[in-house]
Structure 1
Amino acid sequence: MGGALPALVAGFHLTKTVGLLDNLASFPVLGRRPSAAPPLPRVSLLVPARDEADRLPRCLPGLLAQPAAEVLVCDDESTDDTAGVVRRAAADDPRLRLVPGTPRPPGWIGKSWACHQLAAAATGDLLVFCDADVLLQPGALAALWAELTRQRSEVFSVFPRQQTGTLGERLLVPLIDEVLLSFLPHRLLSLPVPAAATANGQLLAFRRSAYQAIGGHRAVADRIVEDLALGRLARRRGLRLGLALGGDLVSARMYDGYPQTVRGLGKSMREAHGDRDALLLASLGWHLLAYTVPWLRWRSAPGWRLAATLSVAQRLLVNAKTGRGSPWEALLVPVTAPAAIPVYLLAARRRARWRGRSYP
C-alpha cells in the first residue's frame, strides 16, 4: 500500500498534464487580428454593477472603445456613487445608459436580477454581459465576435487574463485557469458530451435567440454560480457553447487581497461541489494529498517526486498559455492547498456574504 498511494497521485498528475498539453495546443485565445467574420450584429454591452464606483472609471473607457450599439449599466442598489459615475460618463457618449435597478424579488440572487433587468432593457441581437472588473482593449469585441462565429457558438464566454496584486491572490486566483485548462478539453465542446459545459460570467455573450431559448437569467434566478448553471442549461437545450481565453484583449482583477479572494471563492465553492459536505471534505483532502504531501514526502518514493515536479510544471504551463504571472509563482504550488482551507471552511458554513448581501 505504501507504494500505491504515491503511484495514484502521480497517475493523477500525469493524466492532468496530458489534458493540459492538449488544451495548450487547442484552446483558443482572442487575437488582435481576428479571422474573417460576418459584420458585427447590433451588440448590447451589459454591465451589472453593485458598489462599483471605484472600478467603473477603469472599466467604462474600454467598453466605450468597442463598436457596440449601446452600453447599459445596471445600478444594483449601490450604496456608493456608482450611478453618478455612469451618468457623468454618459454625458460624453450617448451609447452609455444607466439602468436604475429595482429591489430584487424573493428567490433571486442579486447579480442574476441585475442581468435580467439589463436584458429586458437591451435592444441588441448579441447580448454581452461584462463584469465591472473586466478591462477590454480596443478590438476585444471584434475578436469575440470572430471567435464566436468561428466556433459556431450560440453561447460564448471569455476567461479574462487574471491579474493579481498580492501574494494571497497569487496563491488562489490562478486555480481558475488551471482547473479550466486541465479538466475541460476544448475539443469536447464540439461533441455531444453533457459534462463538457461551463461558462464564465465575467464576459458572457448570447445570441438573443439563445438567451430567450434557455429562459435567460430567470432560469437560474436562485443560483449563486449562475454562469456555470447557464452553461449547463444551454448544453441541455442543445445549444452550442464556445470558450476562449482573453489573451492581451481581456483582463480582470477579481479580488483585492487574500481576505476578499477567500470570500469570493468561498461563496461559489459549495455549489461547485453539489452542495455536499462530503464532497467538500473529499476535495480538500485530495488537494492536500496531491499538491502538498508530495513535497513533504519527496525523499520517500519516486512517485512523490514525480507528482511534485508535475504540479509545478502544470502551473508554469498554465501561466505560459494565459500570459499571466511569473515563473516564481509556480513555487507557491505546495502551499496553495493549505491556503485554500479558509475557502472550504467558508463554504461549509452554508451561507455566503458578498457585497453586503447574504446568500444561503
Structure 2
Amino acid sequence: MSALGRIGTGLAITVAALAVGRTANYARVLRKVVPLPPEPLDQSAEVAAIIPARDEQATIGRGVAGLRAQEHQNLRIVVVDDASADRTAEVVAAQAAQDERVTLVRGDGPPPGWSGKVAAMAAGVRAAGDSAEWLLFMDADGVAGPGLLGRLLAAAEEHGADLVSSPGAARPGAAACLLMPAATVALFEVVPPNGNNKRVLAIGQCLLLRRTAYRRIGGWAALAASTADDVDLATRVRDTGGRVLIVDATAELSAQGHDGFGQLWRSLRKSFVVGTGSSVPLLAAGAVVSTVFGLTPPIAALTGLLRRDRGLVAAGLLGWAAQSYGQLLFARFARQSPATALLAPLSWVALGSTLGSGLGQVLRGTASWRGRSVTR
C-alpha cells in the first residue's frame, strides 16, 4: 500500500471511530430528555403567552390559533409585532377581534443596547401585566397542540422546574432531513440537554418560565443585548438557583416556518454565528471538520470497492453506518422519516457548508437576521 493509501485508510478508520463515539454520546444524551407527562396539570394557573413576531405573516396565524385552542384556558396571548414590513399585525389583529385573550402590541424596533427579539419579549411581558404565574415564550412559527400548555405545566410541577423548554417537530422535507440532524448532534455535544455544563441548553421555540424566576434573574433587561437569548436565559436561571428542564414535546408542538431549504439554512447559519460568538477559528474548524467527517465514509467505501481493499470498505461502511444510526435517532425524536438515515453523510456536509457560509459572513461583516446584525 502506498503512503497516500495508508493515510486514506487511517483517516477512514479515525472517522469511523469518531462516528461510533459521537453516535453513542448522542444516544446517551437523548435519554436525558424528559418525556412530557401524559396528563395536563389539573389546576388553573394563569399563563401569559408571548410571541415576538417580525415579518411572520405566513406563520403567525396558525401559531396564535394553536394557543387559542389550548385546553388550559386561563391564558392570555400577547403578540409583539417587531416592526414588521408585511401583514403580520393585520393577521394578529383579526384574531384579536375574535378572542379577547389576544393582544397585539406594535413595536418600532429595539431601543439602543437591546437585541430585537429580547426587546420584543420584554414588551410582551409588560403588556401581559403582573398577574400571570407563568410566562410562555413561543416563536412565531410554532404550532401548539391543544394539550401543550397543560402538559408543560405538569412537567414543571412534577420535576420542580423553573424553566421548561422543548423543540418542535420539524415539518417533513429535504430541509429538515439534510440540515437538522448533524446540527442537532453537534449542538447536544456542546450544550447537552439537562446537563450541568458552563452553558445551559434551552430552545427558544418554546420556553415556559415561572414568574418568580423571571423576577429573580432581573427580567429580559438583564439579557438586553443577548443574541443567544434562550441559552443565556437558561444559564441565568440555573445560576440564580433555578432548575432548567428540557422535555420532548414534539407530540404537541411543531415548527411550520422553515419550509424551504434556504430559510432553514439561513436560520441555522445565524445560530452558528451567534453560538460561536462570531469566532473565525471556531467557524473555520467546524466547517472543515464537519465536511471531512461527512465525506470520508462514502468516499472510503467507494474507493475501497474500486481498489478491492476490504479494510477501506469496512472502515467506510462502519463510519457511514454509525452516522446513519445517529440520524435515525434524530428522525425518531423529531418525527421524521427513518429512511432519511442513509443521507447522514450529506447532513454533515451540509453542516460544514453552513458553518463555512457563516464564516464568510463574519469575515465580510454581514452576519444578520431579519435585517439586523447578530454579531456582538
TM-score by length of 2: 0.86
Amino acid at match of 2:27: L
Deviations 1:269-302 (A, max 9, x none): 1222243211111112221222221111123264
Contact 1:346 1:352 in 2 (8 A): no
Secondary structure of the residue that 2:124 maps to in structure 1? helix
Change (3 A) 1:346 1:219: farther
Residue 171 of structure 1 pairs with residue 178 of structure 2: yes
Q: Partner letter of residue 39 of structure 2?
A: P
Are 1:61 and 2:65 counterparts?
Answer: yes
State the distance in 2 between where 1:291 and 1:179 align: 13
Q: What is the identity, as a one-letter code, of the residue corresponding to 1:152? A: G
The equivalent position to 2:105 in structure 1, one of 76, 99, 121, is 99
- Residues 224 and 267 of structure 1 are in contact (CA less than 8 Å); yes or no, is this contact kept in structure 2? no
1:329 has 2:340 as partner: yes
**Partner AA of 2:76 in structure 1:** E
Identity of paired residues, percent? 31
Moved over 6 A (4+): none
Q: CA deviation at 1:87?
A: 1.7
1:353 maps to which residue? 368
- SS in structure 2 at match of 1:222: coil
Q: Give the TM-score, by structure 1 length.
A: 0.89
Pick aligned residue for 2:355 from 324, 333, 344: 344
- Structure 1: runs of 5 or more not aligned: none
Shift of 1:241: 0.5
- The runs of 5 or more residues in structure 2 that have no matched partner are 1-5, 305-311
**Contact 1:29–1:247 (8 Å) recurs in 2:** no
The offset of 1:163, in angstroms, is 1.4
Equivalence for 1:313: 325
Q: Distance in 2 between matches of 1:89 and 1:108?
A: 29
Alignment of 1:154 with 2:155, yes or no, is no
Q: CA deviation at 1:183?
A: 6.2
Match for residue 250 of structure 2?
247
Q: How many residues align?
A: 352
- Secondary structure, counterpart of 2:336 in structure 1: coil
- Change in 2 beyond 3 A, CA 1:291/1:342: closer
What is the Cα deviation at residue 17 of structure 1? Answer: 2.5
1:180-209 CA distance string (max 9 Å, x none): 5666655x54xxx23361111111111011
Write out aligned runs for 1:20-59 (5 A). 20-30=26-36, 33-34=38-39, 37=41, 39-59=43-63
How do residues 99-138 of structure 1 correspond to structure 2 at under 5 angstroms?
Answer: 99-123=105-129, 124-138=132-146
Q: Is the 8 A contact 2:284 2:356 kept in 1?
A: no
Alpha-carbon distance between aligned partners in 2 of 1:97 and 1:308, rounded to the nearest angstrom: 50
Secondary structure of 2:35's match? coil
1:15 to 21, 24, 27: 21
Partner of residue 216, structure 2: 213
**Pairwise CA distance, 1:125:** 1.3
Distance in 2 between residues matched to 1:27 and 1:253, nearest whole Å? 22
Aligned counterparts of 2:263 and 2:79: Cα–Cα separation in 1: 24
Change (3 A) 1:175 1:4: closer
CA separation in 2, counterparts of 1:203 and 1:175? 21
Aligned residues of 2:166 and 2:246 also touching (Cα < 8 A): yes
CA distance in 1 between counterparts of 2:10 and 2:84 reads 54
Report the equivalent of 1:304.
Answer: 316
Does the 8 Å contact 2:144/2:253 carry over to 1? yes
Note the alpha carbon deviations across 1:119-148, whole angstroms, 9 max, x for none: 122231100001110011111101111112
